[in-house]
Amino acid sequence: MNDDIYSAYMEAGALAKRFREEAAAMVVPGASILELVDTIEQAILDEGAGIAFPLNISINEDAAHDTAGPGDERLFSEGDVVKVDLGVHIDGYVADTAQTVDLGDNALLVEASREALNAAIALVRPGVTAGELGTVIQHEIESRGFRPVANLTGHGLSQYYLHGEPMIPNVAMKGGAVFEEGMVFAVEPFASTGAGMVSDSARTMIYSQIANRGVRLASAKRVMNQIRDRRSLPFSRRWLTGDKIDLALSALKRSGVVRGYPVLHDIPGSLISQTEHTLIVTEDGCVATTL
């Protein structure tokens, strides 16, 4: 960490906060999911910043990794619990943040993830362990009658890298990473009315490049050209142009060049809330760049 890197993280955080709130304000019954994500992603680019990952809009039992697909016609509905998860980067330094918009009567569920995050932030300082955060997150969620999603975690951030160490659990555990000044990570509690465990669904709209090797298929080469500037950051199926895109993605997955991120969901009929901020550990506490 130096002054330039710190400034990049703080600038990314301020923009992420602004665009997260603008996106949340667009979540109303009857509004288009595709229009929301296109509008917010373009606004990020218009500011001269980078999109760290496709704007995630995950609804009800879907916890994460959903975004609009090409020509997506889905609309928000009364009663939806909508997670808005957004990432901005400045020169690769990422701000990752999320909030839940309740279109029904689920204020306590939204409160559970929000207050779990607030309790975790209050603990962060050098010498505290990741496991201690998991303990307070679980307590805050369970005290309100919900389950923390045990197999989703917060994660370390570094330049052009979204999911590194330390891992921040959403349930109690002993030990874990010991926080040090200058560490950067996202904390993201999820509270569920369901099983508190997520699994892959059949829907995949987000991918990332994980290797760089030659491909023969012409459509796969065209996709590789379009994602090269992502520098391994995730991209959306919706961003790709040309024909035979799905064929190209299948070929790239088989060859180990890209990986998909299926939508993660709890049991059908359940509801999940999420709140997330990016933190920088300081000498005597932390700074939440997105708060």
Instruction: Indicate the angle between helix axes 3-25 and 33-46, nearest 10 degrees.
Output: 150
Residue tagged active-site, from 66, 102, 276, 277 = 276
Quick one: which of 152, 163, 114 has its CA closest to 273? Answer: 114
Catalytic residue, chosen from 80, 139, 163, 181, is 163
Q: Is 155 labelled as part of a ligand binding site?
A: yes
Listed residue (84, 20, 22) closest to 291, CA to CA = 20
- 209: which strand partners? 258
Is 200 assigned a ligand-binding role in the annotation? no
283 labelled ligand-binding = no
Report whether 96 belongs to an annotated binding site: yes
Catalytic residue among 62, 111, 155, 277: 155
Active site residue 3: no
Is 85 annotated among the ligand-binding residues? yes
**Residue 163 is assigned to a ligand binding site:** yes
Measured in degrees and rounded to the nearest 5, phi and psi for residue 175 equal 75, -135
Q: Does 163 participate in catalysis according to the annotation?
A: yes
- Apex 153 CA angle, 149 and 156, nearest 5: 170
Specify the residue for token string 């998991």.
Answer: 134
Q: Which of 66, 115, 188, 266 is catalytic?
A: 188
Q: HSE on the CB side for 50, CA within 13 Å?
A: 19
Catalytic member of 62, 96, 102, 132: 96
89 has catalytic annotation: no
Task: Mark whether 188 is an active-site residue.
Answer: yes
Question: Any known ligand binding at 276?
Answer: yes
Annotated binding site: 65, 85, 96, 155, 163, 188, 276
Annotated binding site for substrate: 65, 163
Annotated binding site for a divalent metal cation: 85, 96, 155, 188, 276
- Active-site positions? 85, 96, 155, 163, 188, 276
